[in-house]
Structure 1
Amino acid sequence: MIRTADTQSASFLSARQVCAALDIQPATLYSYVSRGLIRSEETKSTRRERRYAAEDVARLIAKKQNRRDPDVTAAKAARESLKWGVPVMESTLTLIQDGRVYYRGRDAVELARENSFEDVAMVLWSDPSPLSQGRENKTDVFALGRTWAVIPTPWSEISGHMTIIDRMIDTLTGIEQRMGEVPMEIEGARLIWSLTLTAGTPYLDAMPLLTWVMQDQIAPEEPIAELLARMWSLEDARLIDAALILCADHELNASAFAVRVAASTDADLPHALIAGLATLSGGKHGGATAHTRALITHIESPEQARGLVTAVLNRGERVPGFGHHLYPHGDPRGRALLQMIRDAYRDSDVIAVVDAICAAMLDLTGLHPNIDLALSALELAADLPESSALALFALGRSAGWIAHAMEQYAEGTLIRPRAAYVGKMPSPPASLR
Structure 2
Amino acid sequence: MPPDDAARIYLTSAEATALLGIRIQTLYAYVSKGLIRSVKQVGTKERLYRRDDILRVQARSMARSGHGAVAGAALQWGEPVVPTSITELTPEGPRYRGRLAMDLAVSGGSFEAVAELLWTGLWHPDIAWPRRALPPSVATAIAPVLSVPQGNGELAEILAMVVLRLGLARGTVEERIVGGQTQDAAREIITAMAGCFGMIGPARSFHRGGRGSVAQRLLEAMGVDAHAANVHALQVVLVLFADHELSSSTFVARVAASVGASLHSCVSAALCSASGVELSRNYDRIEDFLHAGASRPALMKRAVALHQQGLGVPGFSHPLYPEGDARAVGLLAIARERSDGNKRLRMLLDFVDQVSQDMGLPPRHELGALAVAQAIGLPRYSTGAVFMLARTAGWVAHVQEQRRAGQMIRPRAKFVAAGA
1:400 aligns with 2:394: yes
Q: Unpaired runs of 5+ in structure 1?
A: 1-13, 35-48, 426-433
Match of 2:301 among 307, 320, 323: 307
In the TM superposition, residue 53 of structure 1 has moved relative to its aligned partner by: 12
In the TM superposition, residue 190 of structure 1 has moved relative to its aligned partner by: 0.8
1:225 aligns with 2:215: yes
Measure, in 1, the Cα distance between the counterparts of 2:326 and 2:149.
40
Residue in 2 aligned with 1:94?
87
Given that 2:317 and 2:364 are in contact with CA atoms closer than 8 Å, whether structure 1 keeps it comes out as yes
Measure, in 1, the Cα distance between the counterparts of 2:38 and 2:215.
40
Residue in 2 aligned with 1:174?
165
Measure, in 2, the Cα distance between the counterparts of 1:224 and 1:310.
40
TM-score of the pair, normalised by structure 2: 0.79
In the TM superposition, residue 76 of structure 1 has moved relative to its aligned partner by: 2.9
In the TM superposition, residue 181 of structure 1 has moved relative to its aligned partner by: 3.8
Given that 1:164 and 1:387 are in contact with CA atoms closer than 8 Å, whether structure 2 keeps it comes out as no
5 Å-filtered alignment, 1:279-298, equals 279-298=273-292
Amino acid at match of 1:286: S
Measure, in 2, the Cα distance between the counterparts of 1:98 and 1:271.
33
Measure, in 2, the Cα distance between the counterparts of 1:94 and 1:331.
16
User: Does the C-alpha gap of structure 1 residues 145 and 296 become closer, same or farther in structure 2, counting only changes over 3 Å?
Assistant: same
Residue in 2 aligned with 1:201?
199
Match of 2:188 among 173, 190, 198: 190
Aligned identity (percent) is 25
1:317 aligns with 2:336: no
Given that 2:105 and 2:239 are in contact with CA atoms closer than 8 Å, whether structure 1 keeps it comes out as yes
5 Å-filtered alignment, 1:337-356, equals 337-356=331-350
User: Does the C-alpha gap of structure 1 residues 65 and 315 become closer, same or farther in structure 2, counting only changes over 3 Å?
Assistant: closer
Match of 2:72 among 48, 68, 79: 79
Residues 291-318 of structure 1 show CA distances to partners (whole Å, capped at 9, x for unaligned) of 1101211122234332222122234432
Amino acid at match of 2:182: M
Residues 165-192 of structure 1 show CA distances to partners (whole Å, capped at 9, x for unaligned) of 0210121121223524452111110111
In the TM superposition, residue 154 of structure 1 has moved relative to its aligned partner by: 8.8
In the TM superposition, residue 17 of structure 1 has moved relative to its aligned partner by: 3.5
Given that 1:286 and 1:372 are in contact with CA atoms closer than 8 Å, whether structure 2 keeps it comes out as no
Measure, in 1, the Cα distance between the counterparts of 2:320 and 2:242.
17
5 Å-filtered alignment, 1:112-191, equals 112-113=105-106, 114-131=108-125, 135=126, 138-139=127-128, 142-143=130-131, 146-147=134-135, 150-151=138-139, 152-153=142-143, 157=147, 163-175=154-166, 176=168, 177=170, 179=176, 180-181=178-179, 183-191=181-189
Residues 178-227 of structure 1 show CA distances to partners (whole Å, capped at 9, x for unaligned) of 52445211111011111111123331429x546xx4xxx613xx211112
Given that 1:155 and 1:202 are in contact with CA atoms closer than 8 Å, whether structure 2 keeps it comes out as no
Residue in 1 aligned with 2:250?
256
Q: Unpaired runs of 5+ in structure 2?
A: 1-10, 18-23
User: Does the C-alpha gap of structure 1 residues 139 and 74 become closer, same or farther in structure 2, counting only changes over 3 Å?
Assistant: farther
Residue in 2 aligned with 1:266?
260
Please give the root-mean-square deviation of Cα atoms over the aligned residues, in Å.
3.6
Residue in 1 aligned with 2:3?
none
Q: Which shifted more, 368-377 or 397-406?
A: 368-377
Amino acid at match of 2:276: G
TM-score of the pair, normalised by structure 1: 0.77
Q: Give the greater-gyration-radius structure (CA).
A: 1
Residue in 1 aligned with 2:407?
413
Given that 1:145 and 1:187 are in contact with CA atoms closer than 8 Å, whether structure 2 keeps it comes out as no
